[in-house]
Amino acid sequence: MNWIRNIKSNMNSWAILSIVFIILILLPNLSIIFQFFSEPNENWAHIREYMLNTYIKNSLILVVAVGVLSAIVGSSLAWIISAYQFPLRNFFQWGLILPLAIPPYIGAYTYHGIINYTGVIQTTLRNQFGVTVDQQYFDIMNMPGTIFIFVIFLFPYVFTITKAFLARQSTSLIENARLLGSNPWKIYFKIVLPLARTSIVAGVSLVILEVLNDYGVVKYYGIQTFTTAIFQTWFGLGDLASAIKLSGTLMLIILGLLIAERVLRGRKRFSFTTTKVKLLKPVQLKGVSKWVAFSYATTVFAVAFIIPFIQLIYWATLTYEQFFSEDLLSVIGNTIMVALIAATLITIMAIVISNFSRLHRGLTAKLFPKVTILGYSIPGAVIAVGIVTLFIGIDKFMYQNTLVSSYVLSTSIFMLVFAYVVRYLAVAYNSIESGFERIGTSFTEASRILGQNITKSFFKVDLKLIRGAIFGGFILAFIDILKELPLTLILRPFNFETLATNAFQYASNEMIHEAAVPSILIIIISAIAIYFFHHVLERE
C-alpha cells in the first residue's frame, strides 16, 4: 500500500493550506469558464456582430505598438546604461525606474491637462507669443496618444529586467564585440538584442499584461478595448452574462499571448553560460556620443517622470487646502488599510505555497507556482467578473438556506481584498520564490535532521534567511494594490474610496486640479518604495 504511505507522509499543514489557497485562487477563474458556455442572450449577438471586432482590433493595436516601442526604449536604455559611462549615469540606473511610480491613468490625465487648450503649453503660446495653434495637432486623446502614455510609463519593466540580465551576463561576448571596434548601433542590433531576447520578451510581456489590464487610460482617452467593453456591458447595459463572455474571450487571447511568449523566449529560459559573475564594466563615452547618450536618457526621464510630476505638484498647490480635509484623510486610511491587509495575506499565502512546492516532489508541487501566476495574467476587470459571480452565488446559496438575512459577502470589503489577493499573489510569490531558490534546501534539511519539523525549521531557519525577499515581496504587492484601479472601481463597497479611485473620479469629472493631491500621494509612496527596493536589491 505504497500510495497510502506516500500521501500520508506528504500531508502536512503546509500541503493542506497550499491546496486550500490554490483552490481559492482557481475558483473565480473557474466560475468564468463555466459560465462562458452558458446560453448567449440578444446583447451578446449584437456585441459579437457589431463591436467585438473593434475591441479586438484596438486591443491588438495597443498590445503590438506598445510592446514594440517599449521593447526599443527599454532595452536601448538598459544597454546604454550597462555598457557606457556618461554624465548622471548612476542616477539614471534607478531614476529610469521611477516612471513606474506614476500609474498610467494618472499620467494620461496629466498629459491631457498639459497639452489641451487651457494647459500650460497652449496658454504660454497664446499669452507670450500670441500664437493660437490648430487643436488638431494638440490632441492626445487618441490612439497614438494612448500608445505614447503606455510606452513612457511602462517601459521600465523592460528596462529593469534587461538591465539586470545584462549586468549578470558573462560579458566576454559584448566586450569582444566592443574591442573589435564595431559601432554601438551594430552591437545593439547584432548582439544585445538577440542576446537579451529572453529578458526583453519577459519585460514586454509584463507591459502587455498591464496594457490589457488598464481601464483608466483607455476610458479617459475614449479608446474602446476589452476592458472598457466589459465595464460598459456590465454597468451600462446591466448585462453580466455578456460581460462574462467578453471576459472569457479576453482570457483566450491572453492564453494565446502567453503561449507566444513561451515560443519567443525560446527553449532556454536562462542563458547564463558561466556561473562566475563578471560584471560588465562601463566604457567612458567621449565627445558627441557622451552627450547623445545623456540627452536620450534625460529626455526620457523628463517626459516619463519630471514633467508630469511637476505639473501635478503645481496643480496640487492650487488645491492644497484639500490636504487637510477629513475626507482625504479617510481615503488615505482606507487605501493603506486594504493594501496592508491584502499584502499581508498575499505574503503569507506566497510563503506557504512556495515553501510547500520547494520541499515536495511531484506534480502538484510543480503545478502550484503556475496557478499563482494566473491572476497576474488576467485583467482586473475579468477577475472582478469572476469574483462577483462567485460571491453572489455563495450569497444566494446562504440566503436561500436562511443562513444569513441579506447578501453579506458581495457587499463587503472582503470581496475587494480577495480580488487583490488573486490578482497580486504572483508579485510576492516571485520575490519569495527567488529568495528560497537562493538559499536552497540544505539548511532546511539540516534543520529537519536535527529534529525540527518543517514548520519549526521554517521559523527558526528559513524565515531568518529570506527576510529580505519576503519584505521585498510584501512591498511590491503593497504598491501594486495602492495603484490598482479597475478591480477597486468595480468591487469596492458603497462609498469606499481609495487614493486611486479618488484621483480617477476627480479626473473623469474634469476636476484635474483636485485629482492632483491623491495622485501625488500615490506617486510619492511608490517612488519611495522603488528607491528603497532598488537599494535593498543592490545590497543583496
Partner 1 sequence: MFVHIRDLQYRYSNSDHLTINKFNLTINKGEITTILGESGSGKSTLLRLIAGLEMPSKGNIMVGDDCMCSQSKFVQPERRGIGMVFQDYALFPHMTVSENIKFGLVKWSRKDKKARLQEVLELVNLEGYEKRYPYELSGGQQQRVALARALAPKPKLLLFDEPFSNLDADLQIKIREELRKILKTTGVTSIFVTHDQEDAQALADRIVILRGGEVSQNGTPEEIFGTDCDISDRIAVKPRVLSRT
What is the smallest separation between the CB atom of 354 and partner 1, expressed in angstroms? 19
For residue 233, give the nearest of 243, 224, 223 by alpha carbon: 243
Size of the site for partner 1 (CB under 8 A): 24
Burial 423-462 (b: 16+ CB within 10 A, else e): bbbbbbbbbbbebbeebeeeebeebbeeebebeebbeebb
Which residues 6+ apart lie within 8 Å of 143 measured at CB? 58, 61, 62, 223
Residue 296: Cβ-neighbour burial (10 angstroms; 0-12, 13-18, 19+): middle
Q: Provide the H-helix boundaries in 96-142.
A: 104-115, 120-129
For residue 31, give the nearest of 500, 388, 477, 503 by alpha carbon: 388
Residues from 478 through 497 that contact partner 1 (CB under 8 A): none
What is the smallest separation between the CB atom of 454 and partner 1, expressed in angstroms? 8
Among 58, 198, 447, 501, binds partner 1 (CB under 8 A): 447
- Beta strands (DSSP E) in 412-506 are none
Which residues, in sequence order, are bridge partners of residue 284?
A: 85
Q: Does 5 bind partner 1 (CB under 8 A)?
A: yes
Among 361, 401, 495, 539, binds partner 1 (CB under 8 A): 361
Nearer to partner 1, 314 or 459 (CB): 459
What is the smallest separation between the CB atom of 467 and partner 1, expressed in angstroms? 10
Sign of the torsion angle spanned by Cα atoms 409, 410, 413, 414: positive
Q: Does 357 bind partner 1 (CB under 8 A)?
A: no
Nearer to partner 1, 15 or 338 (CB): 15
Q: How far is residue 143's CA from residue 132's CA, in Å, rounded to a whole number?
A: 24
499 near 331, Cβ under 8 Å? yes
Q: How far is residue 241's CA from residue 38's CA, in Å, rounded to a whole number?
A: 8
Stretch that binds partner 1, among 3-11, 21-29, 60-68, 325-333 (CB under 8 A): 3-11
Helices (runs of H) and strands (runs of E) counted in the chain: 28, 2
Site string for partner 1, 13-42 (x = CB under 8 A): ------------------------------
For residue 47, give the nearest of 244, 214, 221, 220 by alpha carbon: 244
Q: Does 180 bind partner 1 (CB under 8 A)?
A: no
Which residues 6+ apart lie within 8 Å of 343 measured at CB? 424, 428, 474, 477, 478, 481
Nearer to partner 1, 7 or 45 (CB): 7
Q: Does 354 bind partner 1 (CB under 8 A)?
A: no
Q: Does 539 bind partner 1 (CB under 8 A)?
A: no
Nearer to partner 1, 45 or 463 (CB): 463
Among 128, 449, 495, 539, binds partner 1 (CB under 8 A): 449
3-state secondary structure of 83: helix
Nearer to partner 1, 183 or 442 (CB): 442
Nearer to partner 1, 204 or 359 (CB): 359
Q: Does 269 bind partner 1 (CB under 8 A)?
A: no
What is the smallest separation between the CB atom of 369 and partner 1, expressed in angstroms? 16
Q: How far is residue 299's CA from residue 364's CA, in Å, rounded to a whole number?
A: 48
What is the smallest separation between the CB atom of 469 and partner 1, expressed in angstroms? 14
Nearer to partner 1, 160 or 444 (CB): 444
Q: How far is residue 178's CA from residue 194's CA, in Å, rounded to a whole number?
A: 16
How many C-alpha atoms does 283 have within 13 Å on its Cβ side? 13
Q: Does 540 bind partner 1 (CB under 8 A)?
A: no
Among 38, 132, 453, 509, binds partner 1 (CB under 8 A): 453
Q: Does 275 bind partner 1 (CB under 8 A)?
A: no
Among 202, 461, 475, 527, binds partner 1 (CB under 8 A): 461
Nearer to partner 1, 470 or 515 (CB): 470
Q: How far is residue 369's CA from residue 349's CA, in Å, rounded to a whole number?
A: 11
Q: Does 68 bind partner 1 (CB under 8 A)?
A: no
Among 448, 508, 513, 534, binds partner 1 (CB under 8 A): 448
Q: How many residues does the chain have?
A: 540
314 near 393, Cβ under 8 Å? no
Stretch that binds partner 1, among 233-241, 242-250, 453-461, 525-533 (CB under 8 A): 453-461
Neighbours of 96 (CB within 10 A): 24
Nearer to partner 1, 141 or 465 (CB): 465
What is the smallest separation between the CB atom of 476 and partner 1, expressed in angstroms? 24
What is the smallest separation between the CB atom of 20 and partner 1, expressed in angstroms? 22
Binding site for partner 1 (CB under 8 A): 1-2, 4-6, 8-9, 361-362, 442-443, 445-453, 460-461, 464-465
